Amino acid sequence: MDTATHNRRPIVAGNWKMHGSRAENQALIEALIASGSVDDSATCVVFPPFVYLADVARQLAGTSIELGAQDVCAEAQGAFTGEISAAMLADVGCAWTLVGHSERRTLFGEDNTLVARKFAAALARGLTPVLCVGEQLAEREQGQTSAVIERQLDAVLSVSGAAGLAKAVVAYEPVWAIGTGRNASPEQAQEVHALIRARVASHDAKIASALRILYGGSVKAANAAGLFGMPDVDGGLIGGASLKAEDFLAIWSAAAEV
């Protein structure tokens, strides 16, 4: 393991998606805080639904767990009913935001251009964007994985440059492995993570070496250690397992032990 790899502090990010309630969220956060057994050598971030951000921020005050949003508007302010700006997210205590999650891309029609604008908007307000990239099953089967991911990365690089990625995190989501119970093997994940790092390295090798790349696709307590042990996998973007304190803590511990 080279020095740059060793210096990339792992991240476990819990994307709650459209789940939770005030009571459920409070119980989950209390369980995470109470564990006291997790090594802070891995960064932990939770991404609740918008309406619960302020509540969760109050619960997390004084802890090492950080707060993120699941999406951000590309616009700074104005007549955009239903949208939430990066400044608003920062105002309620967010330090992070997801950008370009596969569900936003596939279900809500977000294209690479819009994702790149959202990424820039997050950076402009000091948020750390987690740029989600990944291929559909049909694209993988047709051998298009590299082309799809390179287009997704290049759209952001063309707007924010490699310098923008120096202030961000990338998450590889094989769309065919999200919520399906299937997951990429550690070797499959490593192959794509290496591709992502190489693409960024073609712009700036130093930034690429330090870039943290998370794997997101049915990560569970049982497979976390194998995935996180790969040289270019720097933690995980966790979906369903992040809603169960015991499972999420086990994944957090696996990241801390890498």
For 232, the token pair is: 């270019």
Active site annotation includes 203: no
Terminal Cα-to-Cα distance of the chain (whole angstroms): 11
| Rounded Cα gap, residues 150 and 146, in angstroms | 6
Predicted structure pTM score = 0.95
d(CA 249, CA 47): 15
Q: Do the Cβ atoms of 160 and 123 come closer than 8 Å?
A: yes
Burial 196-232 (b: 16+ CB within 10 A, else e): bbebbeeebeebbbebbbbbbbbbbbebbbebbebeb
Choose, from 101, 110, 135, 193, the residue flagged as catalytic: 101
Whether 24 is a known active-site residue: answer: no
Q: pLDDT for 204-215, tens place per residue?
A: 999 999 999 999
> What domains sit in the chain, N to C, each tagged with a CATH number?
10-32+40-238 (3.20.20.70)
pLDDT tens readout for residues 150-203:
999 999 999 999 999 999 999 999 998 876 767 789 999 999 999 999 999 999
- Which is catalytic among the residues 66, 110, 139, 173? 173
Closest Cα partner for 45 from 77, 10, 75?
Answer: 10
Worst-scoring range by mean pLDDT, 10-14, 32-36, 141-145, 147-151? Answer: 32-36
Q: Which of 1-5, 37-41, 100-104 has the lowest mean pLDDT?
A: 1-5
